[in-house]
Structure 1
Amino acid sequence: MLFKKKPSLRNQYDASLLKLMAQTKRDWEYAKKIEQSVFEKDSLLYSQTKLAEVKYFYLFKEARNRDIKGDTTTL
């Protein structure tokens, strides 16, 4: 117990990135549902949905660059 290995900073950031990806994906799916259910389409609603999509794919690209393997649906 004296020489127990501490988790590295990279692992902590990877875990927080996966958690952020899961939240961003839920936000994007929620924005898509709202956009589909609204009768009158407007540019603000479309831009908010597109922004949520771009945020998710940016985080996805970052996770791929860092070679993170994980499931964002269970977080």
Structure 2
Amino acid sequence: MQNYEQMRLIMNWERDNWKLGNCYKNALAKKSISAVRNELAELKKSAKGVSFSVAPKGGKRIGGDKIVTFKKG
């Protein structure tokens, strides 16, 4: 398999951090191993102050079968 080491680095990074988009991963896998390591390190450093949270969504049944989802502002 070509680019196996790059894909292994990306998958390990995703396991420890967060998921990346498929197009971005494919473009990243075509680069050299050192470039992949550097780019993943820069990505983690640039998102250091960003936090992710899950916002619960509430659904209400209005007028029959249709479910309307309201987002809290």
TM over 0.5: no
TM-score by length of 2: 0.31
Q: Which has the higher strand share?
A: 2
More helix by percentage: 1
